């Protein structure tokens, strides 16, 4: 997939990596972070890095993470196999008592994860013949951390995150980019491990600016031999609100598919957006509700739904006063929930100081399918 409209972000990130920074990318879902990370993976060589992309969603414990990491290194086209071979030799000597028949999997199985991973990163830290540092792109780390907490408790989370920090401090030739669709910082705050992340540069991936979104739609049009009228683009940008590349692409595709003459008008664009709200398209939206239902325990879950319900009913958003008056929450408890909703991409604070849905379409969907 083309990484459209993210040149500035990619350039900025490469500069940061070159300056020795490690990055925590805070990005609501459907904003294009995975596309960007894939782009970084593909262009790493050109920037003098070896890179791997690791999606840790679904993994259960620390050892699984490092197993996936090693597997990803092994698949790295330039030197990955060689690196793993030399790592295996190192592990044999240090951890396996010189057992020549064993490989890195055996070492992982037989040793403590911290021992294994310490050797792994020490190995990656060495420049070697290539003299190209490693860039590790880790996607959905917050989801893994949540799973780890559920399985092994807050202590395990603290241990893991602080240990990663230690590795970052120690092995400065290895660069890191962590990303996730729920805020790792929120989890860290809840579990009191914010100190483990304070060396990371928080990087916010924003939606497209209107110009970029316009250019994106036109590019989609070009590729599909279709044209978007200005009014159509305005309608899309206004009604979508929050210019997520993913949703822009879906709307654009649906609109083009609907038009009889490859010209997308405002009404066709609106029709396409109406269709996007229909039941058969729930896959585009249901994850927003699932995110709250899956990742938040009661009573936070109920409170988040209650806030969103109220906000959904007013296109202009609601004030904090109205929220306080109608929610069974004190100010102390309401603010963190609003932070979560803003952080996770649901709401934004308008210039008038009101809390409103970032995405109008999402508000419409929420009102139709979630609000009782």
Partner 1 sequence: MGDLLNLSVYNPSSLKDEDFLRSFVARQVVAKRLIERLRETTREGIATHQLIMGQRGMGKTSMLRRIAIAVNNDPALKSIFIPLSFREEQYNVHSLSVFWSNCLDALADWYDRTGQPLRARELDDEIARLSTTDKEAAHETFRRWITSENRRPLLLLDNIDLIFSGLKSEQWALRRHFQEPGGIVVVGGSATFLEATADKDAAFYDFFQVTKLDKLTKEELIACLRSLALARGHDGEKVVRLVDQEPARIRTIHDLTGGNPRTLTLLYILLEIDTGGDVFTDLERLLDQVTVLYKARVEDLPPQARVVLDAVALAWNPVLASEVAAATALEVTTVSSQLDRLQKEGVIEKVAVSKTTKSAFQICERFFNIWYLMRHGPRRQRTRLRWLTGFLKSFYSPDQLLERAKLLVNGSEDVDADQGQMLLALSEAIDDEVWRSLLKNHVRQQLERFALSIGKTLDEIVDATELPFPRTAAEWVTHGNMLRQHLKKSREAEQAFLTAASLDTGEWAAWFNLGNVRLGDLADTTGAVQAFRMAIALRPDDLSSHFALANSLSQDAGTHVEAEIQYKNCLKLKPSFYPAALALADMLTAEDGRLPEAEHYFALAARMAGKKDTHILHGAAYFAAYVLEQFDRALRLYRRQLTLLPNDLVAQTNIAVLSYFSGESKQALLVDEKLLTAHPPHGRALIEALVALRIGQYVAATHLPAIFDSAPEDLFENYQGFVLLLLREAERQGHGTSTLQWIDSSGSGDRHWPLLAAFEAYMGGQAKLQDVNPEVRSAAQRIYSLLIAPRRYRESVEVRELEKRRLFELE
The site for partner 1 (CB under 8 A) is made up of 297-302, 310, 313-314, 318-322, 324-326, 328-334
- Report the nearest approach of partner 1 to the CB of residue 328 (Å): 6
Residue 175 sits at φ, ψ, to 5 deg, of: -105, 150
- Report the nearest approach of partner 1 to the CB of residue 181 (Å): 21
- Report the nearest approach of partner 1 to the CB of residue 140 (Å): 21
Taking alpha carbons only, the member of 370, 369, 366 closest to residue 241 is 366
> Nearer Cβ to partner 1, position 137 or 318?
318
> Nearer Cβ to partner 1, position 227 or 306?
306
> Nearer Cβ to partner 1, position 42 or 333?
333
- Report the nearest approach of partner 1 to the CB of residue 300 (Å): 7
- Report the nearest approach of partner 1 to the CB of residue 190 (Å): 12
> Nearer Cβ to partner 1, position 26 or 323?
323
> Nearer Cβ to partner 1, position 149 or 212?
149
Which tokens go with 106?
Answer: 């055996």
> Nearer Cβ to partner 1, position 265 or 322?
322
Backbone dihedral region of 32: left (phi > 0), alpha (psi from -120 to 50 degrees) or beta?
Answer: left
> Nearer Cβ to partner 1, position 320 or 348?
320
- Report the nearest approach of partner 1 to the CB of residue 333 (Å): 8
- Report the nearest approach of partner 1 to the CB of residue 329 (Å): 8
């Amino acid at each position: 997939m083309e990484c459209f409209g993210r040149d500035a972000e990619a350039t900025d990130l490469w500069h940061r990596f070159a300056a020795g920074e490690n990055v925590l990318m805070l990005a609501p879902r459907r904003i294009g972070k995975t596309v960007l990370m894939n782009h970084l993976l593909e262009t790493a060589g050109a920037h003098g890095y070896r890179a791997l992309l690791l999606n840790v969603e679904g993994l259960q414990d620390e050892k699984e993470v490092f197993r996936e990491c090693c597997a990803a290194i092994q698949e790295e086209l330039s030197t990955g196999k060689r690196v793993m071979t030399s790592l295996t030799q190192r592990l044999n000597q240090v951890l396996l008592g010189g057992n020549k028949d064993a490989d890195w999997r055996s070492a992982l199985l037989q040793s403590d994860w911290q021992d294994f991973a310490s050797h792994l990163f020490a190995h990656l830290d060495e420049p070697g013949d290539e003299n190209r540092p490693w860039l590790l792109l880790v996607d959905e780390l917050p989801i893994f951390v949540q799973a780890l907490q559920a399985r092994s408790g807050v202590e395990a989370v603290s241990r893991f995150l602080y240990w990663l920090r230690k590795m970052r401090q120690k092995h400065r030739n290895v660069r890191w980019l962590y990303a996730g669709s729920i805020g790792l910082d929120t989890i860290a705050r809840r579990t009191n491990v914010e100190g483990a992340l304070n060396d990371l540069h928080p990087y916010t991936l924003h939606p497209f600016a209107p110009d970029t979104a316009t250019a994106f739609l036109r590019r989609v049009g070009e590729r599909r031999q279709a044209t978007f009228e200005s009014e159509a683009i305005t309608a899309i940008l206004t009604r979508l609100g929050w210019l997520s590349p993913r949703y822009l692409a879906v709307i654009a595709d649906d609109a083009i598919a609907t038009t009889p003459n490859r010209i997308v008008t405002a009404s066709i664009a609106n029709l396409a957006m109406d269709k996007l709200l229909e039941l058969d398209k729930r896959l585009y939206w249901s994850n927003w509700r699932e995110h709250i239902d899956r990742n938040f325990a009661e009573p936070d879950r109920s409170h988040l739904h209650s806030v969103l319900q109220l906000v959904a009913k007013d296109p202009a958003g609601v004030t904090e006063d109205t929220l306080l008056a109608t929610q069974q929450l004190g100010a102390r408890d309401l603010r963190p929930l609003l932070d979560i909703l803003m952080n996770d991409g649901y709401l934004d604070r308008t210039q008038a100081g009101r809390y409103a849905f970032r995405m109008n379409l999402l508000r419409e969907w929420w009102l139709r399918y979630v609000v009782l």
